[in-house]
Structure 1
Amino acid sequence: RGTQFMGAGYDIPNIQGEGRTVCTNHAWGSAFRAYGSPQSLFSSEVLMDELAEKLGMDPLEIRLKNAYRPGSTSPTGQAPESYSLPKMLEALRPKYELAKKRAAEGSTARYKKGVGLSVGVYGCGLDGPDGSEARVDMNPDGTITICTAWEDHGQGADIGAIGTAHEALRPLGIAPDKLRFTWPNTAKCPNSGPAGGSRSQVMTGNAIRVACETLLKETAKPKGGFFKKGGGYMTYDELVAAGKPTSFAGKWSAVDGTACDENSQGKPFVIYMYGVFMAEVTVDTETGKTAVDRMTLMCDCGKINNRLVVDGQNYGGIAQGIGLALSEDFEDIEKHSTMPGAGFPYIKDIPDDIEVIYFEEHRADGPHGAAGIGELPLTSPHASVINGIYNACGVRITKLPAYPEKVLEALKK
């Protein structure tokens, strides 16, 4: 993940890195939202601000100048499938200028305000080839059941499945309330794979789309006669009477996805998500405490299935990013093994003013143009907060979290 996301979002023709695997006495960790990219992008996005300062450039301008465009490649040598970053940075510009003006006018001798930016990129899928299976069942009462193992831990698998199926079944004219969703049951559901890596909407969504398209094909009534009358689709009862199946399977694979080689070059994902974060912060120079006043996210997650669900993913990820930036730590098993001890952010720590603006760039390999969404909002919001602290008071935090005492100590130096 480090090689995939350090420097992601920018056209860097030559990049070399060294990775080491070491045994430590630190707490053991496993995959969590945006796994690998919060660490990778924190380093590269703070370095982008340092580079902008060395060059005498504005942080937005250096990002806009180097963002993916046709002809660019990712750190793994892959051509991006969406070039939305320049559009998002241009659209953010007026908001960024207004935020800088607010910061300049709102700063006092004690409370310094600043603005920070960061770019976020994340892939949809397991590294390399990935796929999923689904099934749609026509029922006697005229409803249709979408059967998958799309596991749900709060991200909205139910509306993800139903929304995807409804779009695919538009020719059938079926109402959304006639669609049913099954929670995963390994004894009864096809193999949809894990709900991780922001893969479900893409992989399982495509499998659902294929299953629905198979249903339409297999139940279509032939058009005949001089006036081409007839047509439409067979009902459940008509299928049973004709001895035809009432269940239809769908499979989809991202066959173009290939794992990276020994030089970290390859095409690990067919679809990515892209975003630009802007944090507006206030630093209390007497205590070192940082408050996040506003967060803005320019988001490209492809064509949106359900806006409310996608909003929820983004708000949640941004909140987690603020915690990661300012308060969360898990090094000491005794000290950090409770939510308060680990620095879980409280409601007062998350601003009410969070704005998400969508750029729905169609994904050729996504179901109805969709990408994933789950991990994008935690790729780099914390980097924008840290960059905002530097913009506010000149303190560069390079090891998270930015505890008040850490900021205060740096201020004194």
Structure 2
Amino acid sequence: MTSRPYCGIDFGTSNSAVCAGFGDRLELVPVEGASVTLPSALFFNFETETLTFGRAAISEYLEHYEGRLMRALKSVLGSRLIGETTQIGASRKDFRAIIGLYIKHLKACAEAHTGEKIEDVVLGRPVHFVDEDPEADARAEAELRGIAEAQGFKNISFEYEPLAAARDYESRLTRDEVVLVVDIGGGTSDFSVIKLSPKAKRGDDRTNSILANSGVHIGGTDFDTRLSLNTAMREMGFRSQMKSGLDMPGLYYHQLATWHLINFLYTQKNIAGIRQLHFQAAQPELTQRLVDTVDKQLGHHVANRIEGAKIALSDQSATTVDLSAVDANWLMSIDRGTLKAATEREVGRIVDTAVACVTEKAGLEIDAIHTLFMTGGSTAMPGFEDAMSAAFPAAAINYGDRFSSVASGLGLAAKERYCL
């Protein structure tokens, strides 16, 4: 058996994780403090001239350091942006180099954990980087391979992410099963119908095990937006009336409830427009909070608190959101019923996509699915499991680790391929 270390890297759109091993020993790698997951974010801090990753990157951005935050870089693979450059401070960097910095950081975390240089890696990849474009899909994989090579990896292979997520489950099977892998991420919900078997042999090409895959661009950030619009934005005047009797325009509220649009509010033109609405509001005590949020540039602070409430409601029936940074007396209570009502439409579209993946793309009956294998942080959303169970009443539900099951599966694949 080889004594070389190896690793699997789940480079995700929202979060990433690494699983590294030596011989038979295989472990998830702490990538930020004790955490085994790292938000897929980098922050180029122009004030301190430093580069930070993950939660630290987002924190520095929220603290209003001058700099550039980069997120969701995986989506650049397969697009025309990959060959372009973007302004970072006084210079321009190409996207390959920026993604490389992030992969380099994950590699360094794995090497620090094992105490050895790592050259063998299995990288996760979606079944399709680019839908219905095989050439672009092949280019995306080639780009990721080239980026990994530039960071010092020598033996590089790939594994489909849904298959990686189900690997640990497959290793415990005693019978063949048809499984629907349900991966609800930050920006997308992805589904794969997979044939799993305890008889699957090491090194087998598993491409034909995937019967169908599908997805919809709805995920955790959309749940955050809907919850914000139904709670914090309402208490800032959304859906209230103006003195004229007309409804308050919703554009500013929708922007403020959507993470990547918040910064666009901080312009003189938008601030002036918000102040004008405030003067015309029938309930200025509410719209004053909107004015203060934008004036103090606290939009991302509010968004973070709403996301925290969504997460808390996975484990408790109600939670309190402290928004006193905006208004000293602003404490807001949110319960599970409010969250379920706010996200009911989005959950319905996700479930409909899952059903279509099985019945239309795989050509199977609903009861042909033995197990729903759930992964991704947003599978913990209150009401989501019930909705999936109602759609697939004959299927058992099995949870992998919501945030690291793909990385664990990639580590198992690396062990198979490199532990000779």
- Bigger strand fraction: 2
- Bigger helix fraction: 2
TM-score (norm 2): 0.27
TM-score (norm 1): 0.27
Of structures 1 and 2, the one scoring higher in RCO (CA 8 A, sep 6+) is 1
Task: Tell me which structure has the larger Cα radius of gyration.
Answer: 1
